Amino acid sequence: MQTEAIGYTFGRQALPMLWDYIEMNPIEHTGGWADTINSIFTNIDHLSQIPSLPLITSERQGFGATHASATRLPYPDAFFDAILTDPPYYDNVPYSYLSDFFYVWLKRAVGHLYPDLFSTPLTPKAGEIVAYSNGEGGFEAGKRFFEEQLALSFREMQRVLKPGGVAVIVYAHKSTAGWETVINALLDSGLVVNAAWPLNTEMESRLRANESAALASSIYIVARKAERQGVGLYPQVRAELRQHMERRLQRLWEEGIGGADFFIAAIGSGIEVFGRYEQVIDMEGNVIRADALLDEVRTLATDFAVRQILHNGFAAEISDRARFYVLWRWNFGEARVPFDEARKLAQSCGLDLSEEWARHGGMVKKEQEFIRLLGPHQRDLDDLAAGRDLIDVLHHALRLWEKSERSALIQRLTESGYGASEAFYRVAQAISECLPLESKEKKLLDGLLTGRSRLQEEVRQARLL
Ligand X SMILES: C[S@@+](CC[C@H](N)C(=O)[O-])C[C@H]1O[C@@H](n2cnc3c(N)ncnc32)[C@H](O)[C@@H]1O
- What are the residues binding ligand X (CB under 6 A)? 69-71, 86-88, 95, 127-129
Report how far residue 424's alpha carbon sits from residue 317's, in angstroms, rounded to the nearest whole number: 10
Minimum distance from CB of 321 to ligand X (Å)? 38
Q: With respect to ligand X, which residue has the nearer C-beta, 159 or 289?
A: 159
Minimum distance from CB of 123 to ligand X (Å)? 9
Minimum distance from CB of 87 to ligand X (Å)? 6
Q: With respect to ligand X, which residue has the nearer C-beta, 71 or 212?
A: 71
Strand pairing class (231-233; 279-281):
parallel
Minimum distance from CB of 218 to ligand X (Å)? 9
Minimum distance from CB of 173 to ligand X (Å)? 11
Q: With respect to ligand X, which residue has the nearer C-beta, 88 or 165?
A: 88
Minimum distance from CB of 70 to ligand X (Å)? 4
Q: With respect to ligand X, which residue has the nearer C-beta, 97 or 339?
A: 97
Report how far residue 300's alpha carbon sits from residue 244's, in angstroms, rounded to the nearest whole number: 11
Minimum distance from CB of 136 to ligand X (Å)? 19
Q: With respect to ligand X, which residue has the nearer C-beta, 222 or 420?
A: 222
Q: With respect to ligand X, which residue has the nearer C-beta, 1 or 203?
A: 203
Minimum distance from CB of 386 to ligand X (Å)? 50
Q: With respect to ligand X, which residue has the nearer C-beta, 69 or 319?
A: 69
Q: How far is CA 269 from CA 158, 173, 192, 287, 294, in A?
A: 22, 15, 14, 20, 11
Q: With respect to ligand X, which residue has the nearer C-beta, 172 or 397?
A: 172
Q: With respect to ligand X, which residue has the nearer C-beta, 168 or 408?
A: 168
Minimum distance from CB of 71 to ligand X (Å)? 6
